[in-house]
Each structure stands twice: as structure tokens, then as C-alpha cells.
Amino acid sequence: MCILYPGIKCGLASGNSQQARNIIIQKINGELVQNENIKREILFPIKTGAADCAVTFKNGSEIRAIIVDQNRKGEGARSWRFHLLIIDEARLVKDSIIEEILIPMTKTKRPTALKYGMSEKGKVIYISSAYLKSCGLYIRFRHHYEQMINGSSEYYVCALPYLIGVQAGIFDEDDILKELDKPSVSIDKFDYEYRGRFVGSSSESYYPYEIITPCRNAEHGELEQPKKSISEYIITHDVALSDSKNSDNSCTHVIKLKQRSNGSYTKRVVYTKVCNGMTLPEQRNLLRELIHIKFPNAIKIVMDTRGAGEALPSLFYESWEYINPATGEVTEYPPIVRDDDEAGAKLKDSLPIIRAITATNDFNDRFYPYMKSCLQDKSLELLSSSEEVDQDWKEEKISDEEYALHREHDALMSELANIKQTLSEHNNTIYDRIIKTKKRDRATSLLYGLSVVYEYEIANKEKLYGDNSIKYRYKPLYN
């Protein structure tokens, strides 16, 4: 279009500046200039700088990558005007930026159209992998689709699943299907990444994507608490021991608490680690390191003590030596005991901060709905999608460990969406898995931690509201 339409200005935008620049750096400067017919239309040199990345043509046309700083609401891109705008990986660009910043850029006609009084409208092209039906891109896709099938020539949509690439010989189908064997790739993720399908929760889901997605608003996790942090933390752990294939995993979350004026908390999950086949002493060491070294503001360790976890608390009933790997310095930390163990509390310098959880039907009846209420009122905050930080990871702006936290929350969202509420033969409410083969270790670990936060919220409200607080203690939770 830049060659055939003199004076046309084409903009490239993406969720991060590097992604848009790569179209110019890799596709145009790296590949297309090898074609002599294209090469002689371009005014060289091609600019590839971070602040100035553009291709200029001899007929006055231009292709320019623009910086859409999503943290600044796209304000830095306001000054540009384009006749054609391509938004790459559009699902990663915030709807507010698309509507308020990017689309208005395309309302100016070309000089040629103005000179000859031609009717000409700007165009916006969205290129993206699919995602969840709860995301803004799906709403935009549906609108374009409905306009197209109703006969409008101004709208067009097309889905290109991986089979198109197989038919074109770009890659092999068996190689693509191997992605399904990776533990980090769920059926949902495979569908939207490779099959071009927008994914929605099952109608049975107790935690549909629609209520989880708005809670994925935390831009970064924490591998350790920030210096001078005054926030309190809850460490919650679901125990598992087997290392056999398809066995359960042990899962640890760290929940950061920030108290609100009404006595409730903002509950941000800042750290998640999942392990398979870890022994009880190894799990003890992991939790000890988190509470003493990485998150010393932690006020409670919550763990499942049914089955495999029954013996875990006893491993904390003695002092623990930590060897600093950098200096070799040895530090001894006191015993940690259960918060309901009066005898254990008499151990010298012991810390009564272990909360043992037994997930009975009564426990589940109370706290699965509470977890849903935390999602509905957005007081529970999860890390943003790994796709949103993928480029930062590739550019080494964030570490492998930091990137892994976002990947774990992708899996957590999938586990939550797979939970359904049903009735047993005896008319008891149970919380089961829609797809039986999918795990829910991350979801249950989070549930255990939130049960303790709920107690703290009740206590806070008793202090704030006095005798009237009984209405909070017995207030029914959301169903």
C-alpha cells in the first residue's frame, strides 16, 4: 500500500515498542529489501532506533513503529497521524488506548485525497493470537464479524489456525502437537495460541474467566519482600509428595496483605512455586527460607495437614540453621509451632504461626464462596498474563524466576475455571473438577491462605464496629 498509494502514512503499534519495531527490523530491513522491486522504492537508510524506527519511500509514504507506553496510558503516542494503522498482538493493547489514542490517529485523509476531493477512510488492522472470551479483543472481533456477515464491506475478520501453516509447509503438525505435552500448556492455551479459538469458561465453572480476568492486574510479583516493606504476608502451602507422572504437586503461594479502611484486605498473590516429588524436609526448608529470609514480614504459614501433610508441622518444632550461600554465614532460627498448640508454644523462643488446615465439607462450603467473593469484588489480585511480560522476559528486563511467576498464574486461572459446584447424592455441596485430569493444587493452596485472611478481616471488623460486627461474622458469603 505504501508503494501504490503515494503519501500514505502507516503506523505500527503493539503491546510493547520492540514488537512493533521488529516488523521493520526483521521483516522489512531483514527480508523484504532482498526483493529488488521493493528495494528501489525505499529511501535508505532505514531507521531502526528505539525512538525513531521508520521506513521512508520515494513517493512520500512512510511506515513507522510507534511507542505505546501502556503504563502511561499511551500518552506518548498522541502526536502521530496515520492513514493505515496495524496493531500487532492487539489483545495485549489496552482497550482504552485503542479507543482513545490509536483509532483517532486514523481520521486524517491523505493529501492526494484532499486535493482531488476523494472519499477516503482510515483503516485499522488488528493482528493477534486469540485469547479469552472475557477480553476486549473478543468483543471487537464479534463486532467486526457481525458487521461483515451483515454485508458491510468495511469490516473483515479471519482466523488462521496452525493447520494453515502445516498446509503451507511452514512447520510440521507433530511438532506443534508436542506443545500439548508441556505441563505449562493447557488445552485452553493451545486453543487460543495455535487453533485461533477464543476460549470461554464452561457453563459449569464456579470461577469463570469473566470474574478472574479483571483480577489479573498485578504487573509484577515478588521473589522477596521489598526493603523497608511494612506489608504483612501469608505463606500458604498445599502438600504433595509423589513424583510419579500426573501426580499432584506441592504448591506454595505468598499473599501480600494491605488493609482497607473497612477492615478487609487487598490480597495480592505475589509469589507462587510449584514442585513435584519434593520430600517433606525439602518442603520444610522451602517454607523456612520464605518466612525467615525472603518474607520476614510473614505472620502465618498455612498448610494442609490431611494425608501427606500430617507430619509436616512436626518438622518445624526445632531450630533451623540457614547457611548464606554468598557468605557462608550460619544463622539459627527458632522453632515454629502450630498456633493452637499450647505445649509447643512453651518451646524456647518458639513462634506459634503454623495454621493447620483440614479441608472438611464445612470448610469448603465456607471458603470456596469466600474466594469467589474476593474475585468478584477484586480484592484478590493475581499477576498479569505471561504474554503481557513475554517481551520483557525475552529482552532480559525480567528474570526467568519473575517470568515463571506469571506463568504459574496462567495455570492458576485455568485451575480455578475448572472448578464446579455440584450436589452429592446426600444433597451436600461439593466443589469438583469439570475436567478430572486437570489438577487444582494452585487453587486449593490459595483457598487455604484465604481462609486465614477471612479470620483477620472478621477480627478487624469487630474492632471497627464493636457489637454490630456480628452481622459480618454471620453474613452469608456470595454463592
SS3 238: strand
Strands 380-381, 265-275: pairing kind: parallel
Identify the residue whose cell numbers are 511438532.
Answer: 175
pTM: 0.80
pLDDT tens for each residue of 8-61: 999 999 876 678 889 999 999 999 999 999 999 999 999 999 889 999 999 999
SS3 355: strand
Please give the pLDDT value at position 476: 39
Nearest Cα neighbor of 415 from 267, 309, 274 is 274
The whole-angstrom separation of Cα 323 and Cα 314 is 22
User: Can you read off the three cell numbers belonging to residue 389?
Assistant: 511480560
The whole-angstrom separation of Cα 471 and Cα 479 is 18
Contact 256, 222 (CB under 8 A): yes
Please give the pLDDT value at position 73: 57
Residue 4 pLDDT class (50, 70, 90 cuts): very high
User: Can you read off the three cell numbers belonging to residue 213?
Assistant: 480476568
What's the length of the chain? 479
Contact 59, 41 (CB under 8 A): yes
* Helix, strand, coil percentages, rounded to 5, for the chain: 40, 20, 40
Cα 101 versus chain centre, distance: 25
Nearest Cα neighbor of 17 from 88, 87, 67 is 67
Asked whether the predicted pLDDT for residue 274 surpasses 60, the reply is yes
Structural domains of the chain sorted by starting position, each given as residue range(s) with its CATH number in brackets: 9-128 (3.40.50.300), 210-473 (3.30.420.240)
Please give the pLDDT value at position 344: 92
pLDDT tens for each residue of 353-404: 999 999 888 999 999 999 999 999 999 999 999 988 888 898 899 999 999 9
The CA-based dihedral angle spanning residues 96, 102, 107, 112, taken in that order and rounded to the nearest 10 degrees: -170
Asked whether the predicted pLDDT for residue 442 surpasses 60, the reply is yes
**428 DSSP assignment:** -
Strands 62-65, 232-238: pairing kind: unpaired
pLDDT tens for each residue of 310-328: 999 999 999 999 999 989 9
User: Can you read off the three cell numbers belonging to residue 60?
Assistant: 512520500
Angle ∠(13,406,256) on CA atoms, nearest 5: 120
The whole-angstrom separation of Cα 305 and Cα 360 is 12
pLDDT tens for each residue of 218-257: 999 999 999 999 999 999 999 998 777 666 789 999 999 9
Strands 123-127, 84-88: pairing kind: parallel
Asked whether the predicted pLDDT for residue 472 surpasses 90, the reply is no
Residue 479 pLDDT class (50, 70, 90 cuts): very low
Please give the pLDDT value at position 266: 97
